[in-house]
Amino acid sequence: MKKPPLPTTADHGLRRRAEIPLTNHRDEALRNDSKGRNFLHEPQVHAVLDTFPDSCLLTGADGRISFANRSAEKLFGYTREELLTLDISALVPPRVRGDHQQHLNEFFHRPQARGMDTKGEMGGVRKDGSEFPARISLSPLWLNGEQMVIAVVHDMSELHSTHEAMRIAREFFENTFVAAPAGMAIADLEGRYIKVNPAMCKFVGYSEQELLKMTFMDITHPDDLASNLYFRRCLLDGEFPSFQLEKRCLHKDGREIRALMGVSTVGDKSGKPLYTIGQVLDIDQLKHAEAALVESQRQLRSLSVHQEGLLEDERRHIAREVHDELGQLLTALKMDISLLRLHFGQDPSLLEKLDSMRTLAEEAFHVVRQVASNLRPAALDLGLAPAIEWLAKDFSQRWDISCNIDMCGDEIALDDVTATTVFRVVQESLLNVARHARANEVTISLQCGNRLLLRVEDNGCGFDPSAISKLPGLGLFGMRERIQALGGTLKIDSGSGMGTKLAIELPFSQGDCT
C-alpha cells in the first residue's frame, strides 16, 4: 500500500527522524511500540503538541493510547503515564462505548478526517467518573506503515452551559411575552409588527394575523402620532435608551383608548438597533378614576370653603350678638350700679358691695369684648392688613413674644372669604408658635404683586414637617387645604433647631392693591 505523505506540520527532517530507531524508551509500555509512535515523543513535536489548547490523543486500530498531550492530562484527570496504559474506550462514557467502537471501525475502514458522530459531538469521562460534553475530531496518520488516528477532543462544557442559558433565557422570554398581562409587541425599524402577544391583541381588538400586517402608526391616534414618531426617531438615533409616553390608541371598533407606552431597542453587538420592543398598559380606567378623583377633590374643597364660610358667618353673627346684646346688658348694669352709688352712697357696707359689683361688670364686659374679637375681630372688617396688625399686637401682649410686621404700603383689597382665610391661617400659625415653638420672636411679612405673598417666620425649636397632621386645632394640613381651595399654595420649611417658616402664595393682581 502506498504511504500517504506526513502531515504538513512535520518537515523532511522530522520524517527522517521518524525512520531512525530509538533506543531510549520511556517505559515498558513504549518498548513494544513501533519507531513511528516514538516520533511523537521527539522534544520538538512534543513541545508543539503540548501547546495545543485541545486534547490530542494518538491510538492505533488496537485502541491503545500511544500519545497524549498536556491538555489531555488536564481534561481527563490522568497523568500522561496513566493515559499511555489505557485503551481509548476508557475515556468515553460506558453507555456510548459501543457507538464509539463502531465509529473507530468505520474510520479505520475508510480513513478520512471526520467527527465522531453526525453532530460532531460525543461525551467524555474523566478519571473521577464525571462526564462532560465533547466534540471529537479524527484525522488519519500513517507512521512506519501502521495506520493510526489522531483524536482531537474539545471540551464543550462551557459552550453547552452557554447554550443552556440561552435556551432558558429564550424560554423565559417566550413565556413572559405570551403570559404578560400588558400588551407587548416587537416591531422592525419601520414600525411593522413582527411579534405581538395575546394581551396586545385584546387591547386593540385585532387578531395576531391582522396586527402582523400593520404598523404601530395604524393604531395610534392621529393627534398623538407626531410625538410618537419624534420619540421613536430619537430612540433609533441613540439619543436615549428608551422612552415612555401617554398616547391614545385606536381600537378596532373605533374607540379611543388611553395607554401608557414604553419602548426600547434591541441591537447587535455594535449597538446598532435591530428592532424595537414595546409595552402598552391600558390606563383608560385609571384616567377616568383620576378625573373622578380630581373632581371629588375639587368638590370637597368647595364644600370645605362653603362650610368655612358658613362657620365664619356664624362666628360673625355670634360675635355681633355677644358684643351688641350682651354688651348692652352689661353697659346697662354698669349704669344701674352707678345710680345705686348715687342714692345709697352713704352706707359704707352697701357702697363696698356696689364697687365689687361694678368691678365684676367691667370684667364681664372685657370678657365679652375678648370673646367677640376671638370670634370675629372688628378690625377684619377694615381689611386684611389692619386685622393682621391687630392680631400681632394682641399676640405680643398675650404671650410676651415679639411680633414684627413687614407689609407693603398699599391697601390690600380682598374678598371677605380670601381675607378671612388668610387671617385664620396667620392666627393658627401664631397660636402654634405660642404653644409649641418656644420662640421669642416672630416676623409676619405681607407683599402683593402678581401674587399675594405671606410669610410667618419664628426663631423657635422647629419641628418635623411630616408630623403636621399630629398638631392640634386646625393644623397645618387644614391650612394647606383651605389655601389650595382658593387656588394658592402653602409651604412649610422647618427642622429641629431651625425655627419654622410658613409661606403662602395666592392668585393676586396689582389692581387689588389700592
Q: Is 506 among the domain residues?
A: yes
Long-range contacts of 385-393 (CB under 8 A, 24+ apart): 385/411, 385/412, 385/446, 387/419, 387/423, 388/423, 388/426, 388/444, 388/446, 391/423, 391/426, 391/427, 391/430, 392/430, 392/444
Rounded to whole angstroms, the Cα distance separating 443 from 458 reads 6
Task: Look at residue 476 in the predicted model and tell me its pLDDT.
Answer: 67
- Of 376, 395, 427, the residue that ends a domain is 376
Q: What does pLDDT average to over the chain?
A: 81
Q: Is 172 among the domain residues?
A: no
Rounded to whole angstroms, the Cα distance separating 91 from 108 reads 19
- Of 260, 282, 304, the residue that ends a domain is 282
- Of 252, 282, 312, the residue that ends a domain is 282
Are residue 257 and residue 305 in the same domain, yes or no?
no
Query: Is a pLDDT exceeding 50 seen at residue 32?
Result: no
Are residue 401 and residue 486 in the same domain, yes or no?
yes
Rounded to whole angstroms, the Cα distance separating 198 from 211 reads 11
Are residue 33 and residue 137 in the same domain, yes or no?
yes
Cell of 257: 383608548
Specify the range with the lowest mean pLDDT, choosing from 27-36, 357-366, 482-491.
27-36
Q: Is 271 among the domain residues?
A: yes
Are residue 31 and residue 139 in the same domain, yes or no?
yes
Overall average pLDDT of the 309-323 stretch:
75
Are residue 25 and residue 153 in the same domain, yes or no?
yes
Task: Look at residue 112 in the predicted model and tell me its pLDDT.
Answer: 76
Q: Is 480 among the domain residues?
A: yes
CATH of the domain at 107: 3.30.450.20
Q: Is 352 among the domain residues?
A: yes
Of the candidates 2, 57, 64, the residue with the CA atom closest to the CA atom of residue 33: 64
Tell me the per-residue pLDDT of 465-509, one tens digit each, with 9 for 90 and over: 766 655 554 466 677 878 888 889 999 888 888 899 999 999 875
Query: Is a pLDDT exceeding 50 seen at residue 26?
Result: no
Overall average pLDDT of the 65-84 stretch:
92
Which segments within 30-169 are labelled E, that is strand? 55-60, 65-68, 114-115, 124-125, 131-132, 134-143, 146-155
Tell me the per-residue pLDDT of 191-230, one tens digit each, with 9 for 90 and over: 999 999 999 999 999 999 999 999 999 999 999 999 999 9
Are residue 371 and residue 396 in the same domain, yes or no?
no
Q: Which residue has the higher pLDDT, 344 or 357?
A: 357
Task: Look at residue 12 in the predicted model and tell me its pLDDT.
Answer: 37
Q: Is 171 among the domain residues?
A: no
Q: Is 169 among the domain residues?
A: no
Task: Look at residue 121 in the predicted model and tell me its pLDDT.
Answer: 52
Are residue 37 and residue 156 in the same domain, yes or no?
yes
Overall average pLDDT of the 53-61 stretch:
89
Identify the band that residue 242 occupies on the pLDDT scale cut at 50, 70 and 90: very high
Q: Which residue has the higher pLDDT, 219 or 327?
A: 219
Are residue 298 and residue 416 in the same domain, yes or no?
no
Q: Which residue has the higher pLDDT, 173 or 216?
A: 216
Task: Look at residue 200 in the predicted model and tell me its pLDDT.
Answer: 95
Tell me the per-residue pLDDT of 129-145, one tens digit each, with 9 for 90 and over: 998 988 888 888 887 77
Query: Is a pLDDT exceeding 50 seen at residue 29?
Result: no
Task: Look at residue 218 in the predicted model and tell me its pLDDT.
Answer: 96
Q: Is 260 among the domain residues?
A: yes
Tell me the per-residue pLDDT of 411-434, one tens digit each, with 9 for 90 and over: 677 888 888 888 888 988 898 899
Task: Look at residue 126 in the predicted model and tell me its pLDDT.
Answer: 93
Are residue 438 and residue 307 in the same domain, yes or no?
no
Are residue 34 and residue 140 in the same domain, yes or no?
yes
398-420 burial, b at 16+ Cβ within 10 Å, e below that, comes to: ebebebeeebeeeebebeebbbb
Residue whose C-alpha cell reads 489505557 in the numeric block: 86
Identify the band that residue 117 occupies on the pLDDT scale cut at 50, 70 and 90: low
Specify the range with the lowest mean pLDDT, choosing from 111-125, 210-224, 358-372, 437-451.
111-125
Query: Is a pLDDT exceeding 70 seen at residue 36?
Result: no
Specify the range with the lowest mean pLDDT, choosing from 68-82, 166-180, 375-389.
375-389
Are residue 43 and residue 150 in the same domain, yes or no?
yes
The range of the structural domain enclosing residue 217 comes to: 180-282
Cell of 468: 403636621
Query: Is a pLDDT exceeding 80 seen at residue 248?
Result: yes
Most confident of 12-16, 76-80, 412-416: 76-80
High-pLDDT (> 70) share of the chain, %: 85
Are residue 411 and residue 505 in the same domain, yes or no?
yes
Query: Is a pLDDT exceeding 60 seen at residue 41?
Result: no
Q: How many domains does the chain have?
A: 4
